[in-house]
């Protein structure tokens, strides 16, 4: 399986994130993907290529234009206002406030476009986000040219980014944009299967009222885990998208025996829906030792999960999402890929 990976991911590395009431080194850091790349090489998966230029046209078709302009200029606007540190949201529109008016001041604008203040914007964030999307796009092009699957080692990740908000370490929703590219390339029905521990709220937001993209997410119950306010089982789509969205929220301590039942059900529903192509949002933070998650999957379970997904037999683009147990993230990610290829 070919991998696309950009060294420009390193351009995004905030100094800290707010966690548990204190500033800590961000859990989402450049070393995550270095562990994955090193494991790929160790396991003989040496076809690793730098992507070509990003194509922003598909993103512009799918996402809010003002949001994209904001991401491109936020850091410069922040510095122009005299802010000393990195871009961090401090003011957000909550209940009873206007959510339909965009402030002109950059401090207010950041709050308008952000849904999680642990996610900072640095000088290199926009370039890194574009390079992450470029990896996903070139993986999609490789599959469109006839490959069974390709892996986009994306960083920063994407599945928490909505059509007009960033957060959860995500800025551009790589998986959603790839799904749209598959549709534009001729696939009548595309499924996005999200196995990251955290609900793919951004992907759900983008496709919630569409019937041509099926979204399924296996994740921690939002009553107990981020993103808290979305990802419940009764969220099934609206309008043309009614029935094309399915969530599998699961409680703390969920083992693979239960998690895999949800995976099998999601796979069955995607098959019954008649998907022509698949995007796999691959987070490995369902791992038992992940520092910001609460499922209990072992490393070998990821191999089996990859085998089940691979048995679907669909043209597949795999986009890297989360996974924060640094020492194990490479093993668990590559286990999924090896399981997929062995199906």
How much is the pLDDT for 293? Answer: 98
How much is the pLDDT for 18? Answer: 86
Domain range list for the chain? 2-52+124-342
Q: E strands along the chain, which residues?
A: 2-4, 17-19, 22-24, 48-49, 149-152, 190-194, 213-220, 245-250, 277-282, 316-320
Q: Measured between alpha carbons, how far is 189 from 282 in angstroms, rounded to an integer?
A: 20
How much is the pLDDT for 287? Answer: 98
Q: Is the pLDDT assigned to residue 171 strictly greater than 90?
A: yes
Least confident of 19-28, 57-66, 302-311: 19-28
What architecture is domain 2-52+124-342? 3-Layer(aba) Sandwich (3.40)
Q: Is the pLDDT assigned to residue 114 strictly greater than 90?
A: yes
How sure is the predictor about 280, in pLDDT bands with cuts at 50, 70 and 90? very high
As beta bridge partners, residue 215 has 192, 245
Task: Report the mean per-residue pLDDT for the chain.
Answer: 98
Q: Report residue 47 as tokens.
A: 């076809």
Of 206, 228, 227, nearest to 279 by C-alpha is 206
How much is the pLDDT for 164? Answer: 98
Q: Measured between alpha carbons, how far is 324 from 166 in angstroms, rounded to an integer?
A: 19
Average pLDDT value for residue range 327-334: 98
Average pLDDT value for residue range 93-111: 95
Model confidence over 204-254: pLDDT tens digits?
Answer: 999 999 999 999 999 999 999 999 999 999 999 999 999 999 999 999 999
Asked if residues 259 and 218 have their Cβ atoms less than 8 Å apart, the reply is yes
Q: Measured between alpha carbons, how far is 178 from 175 in angstroms, rounded to an integer?
A: 5
Sign of CA dihedral 49, 50, 53, 56: positive
Q: Please pick, among 12, 138, 160, 219, the residue that the annotation labels catalytic.
A: 160
Model confidence over 151-169: pLDDT tens digits?
Answer: 999 999 999 999 999 999 9
Q: Is 114 helix (H, G, I), strand (E, B) or coil?
A: strand
- 12 annotated active-site: no
Output the CA–CA distances (angstroms, integers) from residue 52 to 89, 131, 320, in the order listed: 32, 9, 18
User: What is the C-alpha R_g of the chain?
Assistant: 19
Asked if residues 289 and 299 have their Cβ atoms less than 8 Å apart, the reply is no
Question: How far from each other are the two terminal CA atoms of the chain, in whole angstroms?
Answer: 13
């Amino acid at each position: 399986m070919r991998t696309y990976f950009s060294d420009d991911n390193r351009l995004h590395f905030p100094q800290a994130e707010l966690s548990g009431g204190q500033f800590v080194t961000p859990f989402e850091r450049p070393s995550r993907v270095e562990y994955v790349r090193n494991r790929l090489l160790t396991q003989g998966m040496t076809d690793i290529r730098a992507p070509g230029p990003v194509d922003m046209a598909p993103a512009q078709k799918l996402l809010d234009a003002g949001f994209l302009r904001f991401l491109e200029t936020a850091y410069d606007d922040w510095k122009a206002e005299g802010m000393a540190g990195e871009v961090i949201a401090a003011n957000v529109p909550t209940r009873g406030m206007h959510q339909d008016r965009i402030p002109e001041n950059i401090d207010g604008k950041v709050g308008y476009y952000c849904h999680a203040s642990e996610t900072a914007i640095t000088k290199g964030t926009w370039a890194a986000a574009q390079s992450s999307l470029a990896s996903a796009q070139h993986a999609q092009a490789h599959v469109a040219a006839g490959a069974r699957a390709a892996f986009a080692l994306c960083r920063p990740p994407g599945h928490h980014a909505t059509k007009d908000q960033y957060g959860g370490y995500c800025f551009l929703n790589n998986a959603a944009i790839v799904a749209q590219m598959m549709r534009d390339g001729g696939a009548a029905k595309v499924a996005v299967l999200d196995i990251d521990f955290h609900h793919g709220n951004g992907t759900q937001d983008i496709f919630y009222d569409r019937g041509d993209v099926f979204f399924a997410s296996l994740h921690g119950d939002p009553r107990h885990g981020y993103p808290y306010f979305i990802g419940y089982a009764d969220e099934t789509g609206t309008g043309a998208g009614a029935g094309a969205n399915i969530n599998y929220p699961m409680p703390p301590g969920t083992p693979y025996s239960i998690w895999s039942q949800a995976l099998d059900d999601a796979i069955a529903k995607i098959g019954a829906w008649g998907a022509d192509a698949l995007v796999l949002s691959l987070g490995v933070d369902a791992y038992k030792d992940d520092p910001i998650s609460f499922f209990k999957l072992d490393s070998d379970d990821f191999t089996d999960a990859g085998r089940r997904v691979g048995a679907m037999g669909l043209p597949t683009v795999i986009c890297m999402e989360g996974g924060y147990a640094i020492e194990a993230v490479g093993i668990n990610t590559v286990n999924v890929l090896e399981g997929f290829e062995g199906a």
